[in-house]
Structure 1
Amino acid sequence: MKIKEVCKRTGLTERTIRYYVEEGLIKPEITLKGGREYREYSEHDLEELETVAGLRKLFFTIDEIKDMNNTPERIGAVLDAYKLKLASDARAKAAIVEALDQLGTNRLQSASEVARKLRQLSEGLPLPQRDINPNFGRFEPGSKEEREQEYNRFVEKQARQYKTGRAIVFSIAGINMLFALLAFIYNLNVLNLIVQLTLSICLALGISWVRYLFIIGAGLAVLVYGMVVFVAFGEGLLLIAILSLLYVAYAVAVTILLFRSEAVSEFLYKQKNG
């Protein structure tokens, strides 16, 4: 299969895949036509790509993956050294160290087995920046100036997404604070006010897991106020029905933005990782 199909099935970019090929981690079949090289990827290549990507998300270096692939008998030693390296970043990588301690490293026979055992952890982690935006040297098409321009465009795009995501998140947090204050004026529920203000502040600070609480709350609001709309229209209370319908629309918009917006994800990622 061609590289575009590989990208679609693995979720990796062409740049990342070409980088792994250049490093010798993936070896697709190469044919020459008209003086040009064409690469054909097999199902085995896809499995190898997923193995490499999974291990890279867990902070394994390219050399460590090569070492495990080329000399399986060294996997235990590689993992022991890897655990010592992770321990220096104990807080950020404590979960991975704990998982490695439970694996029984001497019984592992391949890099793909390591990736499979640790997949639950790797799926929630990003690829290293070296994989996302690698420096290919001779393998990257175009001149050095063109590659630099492409990189600058990428950086500018990321900056725009960050600003857009920040504006979206701050708006949602601000509106949620406003609703919490209005609700407090209506029912004097101090606990609800504190909870909603805390969640709004945490979201604005970029604490990513808080958005899932917002999504759950928005989903419940859609159900509750959707019923209010239905009842209010039935009883002729048009103002209440319209206000409830507007709130339902707002809740749906919040859910879509927090769950699907690349700009929001970029903002939360940058807030977490710097």
Structure 2
Amino acid sequence: MTTTTWDPAQYLRHAGHRARPFADLLVRVPALPGARPRIADLGCGPGNVTATLAERWPTARITGYDNSQEMLDAAHTGHEGPTPGGGHLDFAHADAAVWVPEESYDLIITNAALQWVPGHLDRFADWTAALTPGGTFAFQVPDNADAPLHALMRDLGTSPRWRSRLADMLRGSDRLHTPGTYLDRLARLGCATDIWQTTYLHVLQGEDAVLDWVKGTGLRPVLTALADDPEARDAFLAEYRDLLRAAYPRAPYGTVLPFRRLFAVAVKGA
């Protein structure tokens, strides 16, 4: 499968809406055990939300990990270096599908990334094993694979016109698990775990705002697959745009995008 190409600028066009779930996740993370906490942000993207970790833990040593060089370049340029509270923020390449921590962490956090990692449930044992006693593993993922945003993309991508080029690039609805499955796995790993779901009603501005949103995330594999054929890319986008316009009609105040997310905070036993 072709490696997905990411566009930090496109992703950041809706930075405020995308950052809110991370902030809501952090509210539920308890005090960390270390005086100068060691933190990993797995799937850090362009680093904008990683940098907010230094506001909560000013003395922390924070490393953001990602497997996209485009995202890492943006993170290095915009956020790397000493933090005002005496901590330090840096970024490094890592693939969550195979990443095994080489040191102990007080917090391993991942924001809107695990849906891209097949088999991520099986990675939890390595990650929680690397936590210091009383440390936390926390994550947030989109939990809306059956929403029109994704279902329409899958239907179009598997239609006769597009299936030969796109069917293998589309993320299925089976990448995530039920809240109970996550709770059971983390509890069996010795963690006191809090799981919840929230549906945000994002009010997006601009013409074809939902298409603009998904260009920064879920549509990236399609855009990558069609990058060498601009005519086909534009044709797919036009078809998908029309479907989205019908599914998410624009109101005078903007376009409402309901977006459900799943959250987990797991604290390792002391």
Fold shared, TM-score > 0.5 on shorter chain: no
Bigger fraction of residues in helix: 1
Higher relative contact order (CA 8 A, sep 6+): 2
TM-score if structure 1 supplies the norm length?
Answer: 0.28
TM-score if structure 2 supplies the norm length?
Answer: 0.28
Structure 1 or 2, whichever has the larger Rg, is 1
